[in-house]
DNA sequence: CGAATTGACTTGACCGGTATAGTAACGGTG
DNA sequence: CACCGTTACTATACCGGTCAAGTCAATTCG
């Protein structure tokens, strides 16, 4: 027995295929009585409703939007900040009925999700600027929204004020009298260890935070030692911390790209008998739940990740709406604020 | 200027549409020279590659698989157990190049993701048995895998041994001399508070754990007081705990559906000056990271969520493969073990 | 009472690809 | 030199829907 299609049902009921289609998609186009007959015939035949792929082709819409995530999706679920973000997106998307498709920016054996997966629009979340996946999305002329990405003209974007936040964090250490400062950044140039050129970061967020830190430090005449996480390493935070703590002229304050890193630094410091914040001040970034939870509670830069997610999803649905009815309203570039939260992991330099 | 399709390129280069299609999808079917010309023509015209929807229709495959989640996707990202599970799925799926689409079981204004989103297969994760979304997936004849779901014949399933785990947990309390036992279950019949019929649960996991607890308790002649979380409530765990702790004959041991609930119970107990485990023993379920982290460290039932995720994704790709080449290999029903982990939240009954 | 409207379907084209069977040219073989 | 297997394309028929523009009878209206 072949597949059941609109035609199968049409033949069975003795109407045209179009009428059956209407029975499912535009109930007001036929009599209630006939619709009832069609629906029950469909039911008997075990029809599951119009084929989504066929419908997508004909209608030009799929009912799903994508989120493009750097490298492994795995990480997206491991990181508390990312899950909060995704959760907020899901929440904002729920009333629209759109499903959420997770796309990996890295392609697996000639399958490039950004190019090959059907969708109505996409969110680009903190991808490296060099990623080709983004180019595919653009070529497809999909409505897209950049999040934590360097804003491009004509593309709506959601960012947080990373630079100001980082600047405030660094200034905080400066104000506490720290002169020897270390920085642990996310990955900048592919390896681990000490970074030669702090401005080489391909990731927008990494770069902005770096600029912010340097703003305040340079203004105070401080030249920090910058190390980066080795992304291929499980104990990346720990190793990066060791590099700094092993320096002949050990820093008294460390600025971290994230709370997770900061946590690792604090653990590493405590493990070698250093007091935090007595011997070492540590500042994180994000204000993830971890920051409040850990001991000492972490001084960090707060960003409202949930708000970012909501804004991103809203911007995307707006962009999709815009592309549907050809409206040319100007796109918005949102910049959400950051705020320094001082807790117990920072103190005056010894 | 209209949309660029295979035909546009074909006309431009002066070949048939099929040849252009081959240039993209089956490079071995044409000369290298011609393919080069086609590709560069496509490039000039700003062609983004074969339209995914059209290709999906023609090929009958979309490159994405779904995960059907109970109610709000939001929760899926909030719950550490769920994110671990999803992360493992993503990891297992990565090498296949399949994208992961998150589907809400609840339908929003006549858009039912399970029915309307294009996909090659789906995972059904811990949905209520009554959910109609599952029926849609089945009707579509999509390859599916049940996870934490009552196994149905002909459908591969991944489960953990909830009942044995719960039994071990309850037996543990019995062995410690507890006679007054409370149970805090996940939602059973839609409300909050004390549950009349513990067997009324529509969710398979909820039901199995309940059966397990009762196995051991009834064998010891103990009739527990069962309360359930009110899902609509933010402080659900706390409230449920209060109900038990307010009982005239306060329980000395409480069995919880999850570690998160157990955490809430411990907090509630400590808040009213009860010692844990001195005055009250608490057992969780899942062995999420929280269990190890909290103080006192939680006695709980361990399940390997990551393994569950991997198994689920593997089973799904297997099912998809099976449906492609019409193989009729028998489907597998996997049951993963659980293990009681005794930590510091349980002690002999006072 | 004839014309304009409405309701209920139908017709034919189109969405943008892919599968499969062909065909023509080319070089090698017995 | 007829025969055969390749290589490189093309022709035709779907895939399973939806859209826009009919058709035709049953109202409604001036």
Confidence at residue B1, expressed as pLDDT on a 0 to 100 scale: 62
Q: Give distance CA B59 / C1' D13 (Å).
A: 15
> From the CA of B344, how many Å to the C1' of D18?
63
pLDDT at A1: 62
Distances (CA, A) of A78 to A23, A65, A106: 45, 22, 18
Question: What are the residues whose beta carbons fall under 8 Å from the beta carbon of A126, sequence distance 6 or more?
Answer: A69, A70, A147, A148, A149, A203, A204, A205
**Is the confidence at residue B326, as pLDDT, over 70?**
yes
Touching B: A residues 223-282, CB under 8 Å: none
- Residue indicated by tokens 């709000």: B72
Helix, coil or strand: residue A150: coil
Is beta strand A333-336 parallel, antiparallel or unpaired with respect to A338-341? unpaired
Long-range interactions of B330-336: CB distance < 8 A, separation 24+ = B331/B154, B331/B155, B331/B156, B332/B156, B333/B151, B333/B156, B333/B157, B333/B159, B334/B156, B334/B157, B334/B158, B334/B159, B335/B159, B335/B160, B335/B161, B336/B158, B336/B159, B336/B160, B336/B161, B336/B303, B336/B304, B336/B307, B336/B308, B336/B311
Contact list, B45 vs chain A (CB under 8 Å):
none
Counting other chains too, the contacts that B52-56 makes at CB distance below 8 Å and 24 or more residues apart are: B52/A115, B52/A116, B52/A117, B52/A118, B52/A119, B53/A53, B53/A56, B53/A57, B53/A60, B53/A62, B53/A118, B53/B118, B54/A57, B55/A116, B56/A53, B56/A56, B56/A57, B56/A118, B56/B118
Cis peptide before A20 (omega within 30 of 0): no
Q: Are A194 and A224 in contact (CB under 8 A)?
A: no
Q: Tell me if chain A has a CB within 8 Å of the CB of B52.
A: yes
Of all residues in chain A, the one with the smallest CA distance to B5 is: A140
* Predicted pLDDT of residue A192: 74
- CA A327 from centre of chain: 27
Query: Would you state the pLDDT for residue B226?
Result: 95
**Which residues are CB-contacts of A48 (< 8 A; sequence separation ≥ 6)?**
B115, B136, B139, B140, B141
Which chain B positions have a beta carbon within 8 Å of A136's beta carbon? 48-49
The pair of three-digit structure tokens given for residue A20, joined into one six-digit string? 């059956």
Give the residue on B whose Cα is nearest the Cα of A85: B77
Res B191: pLDDT: 73
CA distance B350 to chain A (A): 32
CB contact under 8 A, B90 and A107: no
Residue B119 CA to nucleotide D23 C1', Å?
39
Identify all chain A residues contacting B52, using CB atoms and an 8 Å cutoff. 115-119
pLDDT at position B234, please? 77
Distance between CA atoms of A306 and A312, rounded to whole angstroms? 10
Distance from CA of B330 to the nearest CA of A (A): 22
- Contact of B8 with B17, CB cutoff 8 Å: no
Q: What is the pLDDT, as a whole number, of residue A64?
A: 97
- Across A185-197, b (16+ Cβ under 10 Å) vs e yields bbbbeeebeebee
| Token pair recorded at residue B40 | 């560069």
Got the DSSP string for B56-101?
HHHHT--SEEEEEESS-HHHHHH-HHHHHHHHHHHHHHGGGT-EEE
Contacts of B117 in chain A (CB under 8 A): 52, 62-64, 99
Kindly determine whether residue B48 and residue A74, on different chains, have CB atoms separated by under 8 Å.
Answer: no
Q: What is the pLDDT of residues A66-105, one digit of tens each?
A: 999 987 788 889 999 999 999 999 999 999 999 999 998 8
Distance from the A345 Cα atom to the nearest Cα atom in chain B, whole angstroms: 20
Per-residue pLDDT, B262: 97
Task: Give the closest-approach CA distance of A141 to chain B in angstroms.
Answer: 9
The answer to whether A135 contacts chain B (CB < 8 Å) is no
Structure tokens given for B316: 């799904």
Please compute the mean of the pLDDT values over residues B178-186 and round it to a whole number.
96
Contact: A77, B87; criterion CB under 8 Å: yes
Query: What mean pLDDT is predicted for residues B51-74?
Result: 93
Write out the two tokens for B58.
């023609």
Distance from residue A290's CA to nucleotide D1's C1', rounded to whole Å: 86
Q: What tokens appear for A305 in the block? A: 């990740």
Give pLDDT tens digits for B208-222. Answer: 999 999 999 999 999
Residues in chain B: 350
Tokens (6 digits) for B155? 């459908």
Task: Give which of B128, B162, B122 is closest to B305, Cα–Cα.
Answer: B162
Q: pTM value?
A: 0.94
Percent of chain B with pLDDT over 90: 81
The answer to whether A56 touches B53, Cβ cutoff 8 Å, is: yes
- With beta carbons less than 8 A apart as the criterion, state whether A118 and A95 touch: no
Q: Which of residues 71-90 of A touch B (CB under 8 A)?
A: 72-74, 76-78, 83-84, 86-88, 90
Query: Does residue B56 surpass a pLDDT of 80?
Result: yes
Both tokens assigned to A84: 């909060």
- Which bases of chain C come closer than 7 Å to a protein CB? 7-12, 14-20
Measure in Å the smallest separation between the Cα of A179 and chain B Cα atoms. 35
CA distance A58 to A39: 22
Listed in order, strand segments (DSSP E) in A235-288 are 253-256, 281-283
Q: How many cross-chain Cβ pairs, A to B, lie less than 8 Å apart?
A: 165
Measured between alpha carbons, how far is residue A211 from residues A315, B266, B321 in Å?
A: 27, 44, 50
Chain A residues in contact with B90 (beta carbon < 8 A): 72-74, 76-77, 102
Q: Which two tokens stand for residue B128?
A: 């209520």
Tens digits of residue pLDDT in B189-239 = 777 778 878 888 888 999 999 999 999 999 999 999 999 988 777 788 888
Residue A159 CA to chain centroid, in angstroms?
10
- Angle, alpha carbons A96-B99-B312 (nearest 5°): 105
Least confident among A201-205, B153-157, B180-184, B341-345: A201-205
- Residue A74 pLDDT: 83
Query: What is the spatial distance between Cα A101 and Cα A119, in angstroms, rounded to a whole number?
Result: 8
pLDDT digits (tens, 9 = 90+) for A265-299: 999 999 999 999 999 999 999 999 999 999 999 99
Average model confidence (pLDDT) across chain A:
93
B2 touches chain A (CB under 8 A): no
Whether residue B140 and residue A83 make contact (CB cut-off 8 A), yes or no, is no
Q: Within chain B, what is the greatest distance between any pair of CA atoms?
A: 89
Question: Which of B188, B318, B210 minimizes the C-alpha distance to B255?
Answer: B210
Please check whether residue B118 touches A, CB under 8 A: yes
Whether a cis peptide bond, with omega within 30° of 0, leads into B296 is: yes
What per-residue string of b and e applies to A107-118 under the rule 16 or more CB within 10 Å gives b?
beeeebbbbbbb
Token pair of A166 as six digits: 């980082």
DSSP letter at A198?
A: G
Distance of CA B147 to the CA centre of its chain: 6
Q: What pLDDT, on the 0 to 100 scale, is given for residue B328?
A: 76
Q: How confident is the model at residue A237 (pLDDT cuts 50, 70, 90)?
A: confident
Question: Is pLDDT of A127 > 90?
Answer: no
Q: How far is the C-alpha of A298 from the C-alpha of A281, rounded, in Å? A: 10
B41 phi/psi in degrees, rounded to 5:
-65, -45
* DSSP string for residues in B228-286: E--TT-TTHHHHHHHHHHTSTT--SEEEESSHHHHHHHHHHHHHTT--TTTT-EEE-SB
Sign of dihedral through CA atoms A274, A275, A280, A282? positive
Distance A33 CA to C2 C1' (A): 32
In chain A, which residues have their Cβ closer than 8 Å to the Cβ of B56? 53, 56-57, 118
Mean pLDDT of chain B: 93
Q: Provide, in whole angstroms, the distance separating residue B37's CA from nucleotide D7's C1'.
A: 18
pLDDT at A88: 97
DSSP B106: S
Which single residue is written with the structure tokens 């119970």?
B265
Tell me what percent of the residues of chain B surpass a pLDDT of 70. Answer: 99
The verdict on a CB contact (< 8 Å) between B60 and A53 is yes
pLDDT digits (tens, 9 = 90+) for A47-62: 999 999 999 999 999 9
Considering only CB atoms, A87 lies closest to which of B47, B52, B77, namely B77
Question: pLDDT at residue B171 above 70?
Answer: yes
Can you give the pLDDT at residue B138? Answer: 94
Read off the pLDDT of each residue in A114-134 and give the average, rounded to a whole number: 90
Residue A213 has pLDDT above 70, yes or no: yes
For A86, the 3-state DSSP assignment is: helix
């Amino acid at each position: 027995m072949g597949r059941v299609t609109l035609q199968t049902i049409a033949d069975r009921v003795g109407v045209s295929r179009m009428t059956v289609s209407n029975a499912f998609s535009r109930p007001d186009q036929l009599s209630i009585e006939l619709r009832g007959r069609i629906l029950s015939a469909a039911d008997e035949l075990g029809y599951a409703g119009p084929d989504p792929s066929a419908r997508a082709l004909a209608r030009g819409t799929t009912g799903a939007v994508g989120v493009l995530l750097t490298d492994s999706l795995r990480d997206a679920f491991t990181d508390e900040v990312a899950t909060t973000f995704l959760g907020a997106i899901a929440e904002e998307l729920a009333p629209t009925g759109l499903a959420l498709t997770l796309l990996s920016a890295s392609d697996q054996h000639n399958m490039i999700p950004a190019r090959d997966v059907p969708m109505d629009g996409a969110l680009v979340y903190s991808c490296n600027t060099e990623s080709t996946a983004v180019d595919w999305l653009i070529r497809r002329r999909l409505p897209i929204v950049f999040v934590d990405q360097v804003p491009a003209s004509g593309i709506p974007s959601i960012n947080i004020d990373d630079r100001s936040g980082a600047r405030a964090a660094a200034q905080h250490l400066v104000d506490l009298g720290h002169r020897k400062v270390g920085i642990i950044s996310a990955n900048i140039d592919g390896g681990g260890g000490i970074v030669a050129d702090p401005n080489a970061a391909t990731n927008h967020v990494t770069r902005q935070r770096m600029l912010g830190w340097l703003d305040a430090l340079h203004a105070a005449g401080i030249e920090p030692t910058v190390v980066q996480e080795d992304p291929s390493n499980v104990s990346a935070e720990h190793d990066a911390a060791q590099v700094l703590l092993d320096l002949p002229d050990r820093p008294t304050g460390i600025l971290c790209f994230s709370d997770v890193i900061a946590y690792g630094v604090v653990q590493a410091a405590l493990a070698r008998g250093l007091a935090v914040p007595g011997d070492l001040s540590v500042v994180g970034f994000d204000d993830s739940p971890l920051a409040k939870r850990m001991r000492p509670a972490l001084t960090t830069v707060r960003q409202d990740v949930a708000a970012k997610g909501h804004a991103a999803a809203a911007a995307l649905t707006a962009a999709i709406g815009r592309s549907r009815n050809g409206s040319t309203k100007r796109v918005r570039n949102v910049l959400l604020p950051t705020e320094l939260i001082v807790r117990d992991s920072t103190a005056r330099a010894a």
